Amino acid sequence: MIETLIAVGLGQLKLRTSSVLLVGAGGLGCPAALYLAGAGVGKLGLVDGDAVESSNLHRQVLHRTKNVGKLKVDSAIEYLEELNPHPKYIAHHEHLSPENAPDIFKQYDVVLDCTDNPATRYLISDTAVLLGKPLVSASALRTDGQLIVLNNPPSPPGDSSGGPCYRCVFPKPPPVESVVSCADGGIVGPVVGTMGVLQALETIKVLTKVPVPNTNVVAVEDRPALHIFSGYSNPPFRTIRLRMRRSDCAVCSSKATVTLDTLRSGSTDYIQFCGSANSPQLLSAQERISADQYQQIHKSKQPCTVIDVRDQTQFGICSLENSINIPITQILNESSASQVDALDNLRSLLPSDAASNDDRNPIYFVCRLGNDSQLAVRKFKELGVDQNGQRYIGDIRGGLKAWKTEVDPNWPEY
């Protein structure tokens, strides 16, 4: 009993003298910061250049309605100081970049990746390795999440006993068109909250672990693993064991080509490595119409088919008049079928007039932000639904967000 109390006391002292950096004050960063502040971590830094939006509030639990428009880091720290005024809170009012990341990271013991785009994930991991910082990384989308502790133990580049980095686990970034953010794909609030809380737990474990002196043996609990959470599966958790560092990794191996100098100089281009940081532009200008243009088409009662490619739940919240719902996942899943079968399957989902080979009425796709709709246009054209250009198939540029901005300011925001 006494030994347990001593261990708890020593752990609490370690937390009190520790410092943690959270990159991102959104759905992941809010619950992680909340529990780390409550646990008594001595210094908490938050990096984020965005402002609070009303559509964030269901999942970003440190922010409140009165703080809409306020910088997220300031809104978060306001809440955290009410919870526990004793830690030192540092606000970094900026987006992370290769130029500022090293100077920010060097002030902290552990880094949490609470972002949602690949370019920033690689930047965070590279900087953490180069500065010897353990990294607790999580992601969440729709009803699923992932968690992994990287660069643990934080050995220098070339030391094979160190934990793997993000590049070791994911040597190649995902295709640009496959990357979906929470804003576009949607997220169940408790899912991202679960992943943020788990990040806080893993951070506390890293900070309070008693090191084993004079040994390079990796303890069982430190062996790298990818934890996968699915909110609607039973059981909801599963774990995949990972290998240690890759011998050819560009940042943590003896063959490393990414250094602090390449970061600061800008020669390590994360945007080029991962693709455009902006929404993918897969269609030509002729294949897209504005929300205002579609409104004129609708008012004039010109015959057309409007396909909303959001999931069924989002479609149930709000939808354009006379639009039909075919989720993008259902459309893209046809890629595994033969072209003839895929075409037949897609036509079976359309109204009879739109499915007809003789029909020349245009088809317009719409989604939340105008990303998935472009994928749907490409898929339909690949399968020949446009009848070699005789039928117009395009999307509404900017999606329903543009509809709210350009046409209907009272359109629901979720």
Helix axes 189-208, 2-16, angle to 10 degrees: 110
Residue of 30, 114, 274, 367 marked catalytic: 367
216 known ligand binder: no
Task: Examine the residue annotation and report whether 318 is marked as an active-site residue of this protein.
Answer: no
Helix, strand or coil, per DSSP, at residue 42 = coil
24 known ligand binder: no
55 known ligand binder: yes
C-alpha 114/C-alpha 192 separation (Å) is 10
Q: How far is CA 185 from the centre of its chain?
A: 10
CB within 8 A of 63, min separation 6: which ones? 30, 52, 56, 57, 72, 75, 76, 79
245 known ligand binder: no
72 known ligand binder: yes
Q: Which of 149, 311, 288, 139 is nearest to 218 (CA)?
A: 149
Residue of 30, 114, 182, 274 marked catalytic: 182
Tokens 């646990």 belong to which residue?
A: 39
117 known ligand binder: yes
CB within 8 A of 144, min separation 6: which ones? 191, 228, 229, 230, 231
Task: Examine the residue annotation and report whether 367 is marked as an active-site residue of this protein.
Answer: yes
Integer CA distances (angstroms), 167 to 121, 246, 269, 391, in order: 10, 9, 15, 44
59 known ligand binder: yes
168 known ligand binder: yes
Neighbours of 6 (CB within 10 A): 10
84 known ligand binder: no
48 known ligand binder: yes
CB within 8 A of 138, min separation 6: which ones? 28, 112, 113, 114, 145, 146, 147, 148, 195, 196, 198, 199
* Residues 256 and 158 sit within 8 Å (Cβ to Cβ): yes
* Residues 373 and 367 sit within 8 Å (Cβ to Cβ): yes
318 known ligand binder: no
- What's the one-letter identity of residue 151? N
C-alpha 33/C-alpha 200 separation (Å) is 7
214 known ligand binder: no
C-alpha 313/C-alpha 61 separation (Å) is 22
C-alpha 164/C-alpha 151 separation (Å) is 5
CB within 8 A of 201, min separation 6: which ones? 35
User: Binding site membership for ATP: which residues?
Assistant: 27, 48, 55-59, 72, 116-117
User: Binding site membership for Zn(2+): which residues?
Assistant: 165, 168, 249, 252
Catalytic (active-site) positions: 182, 367
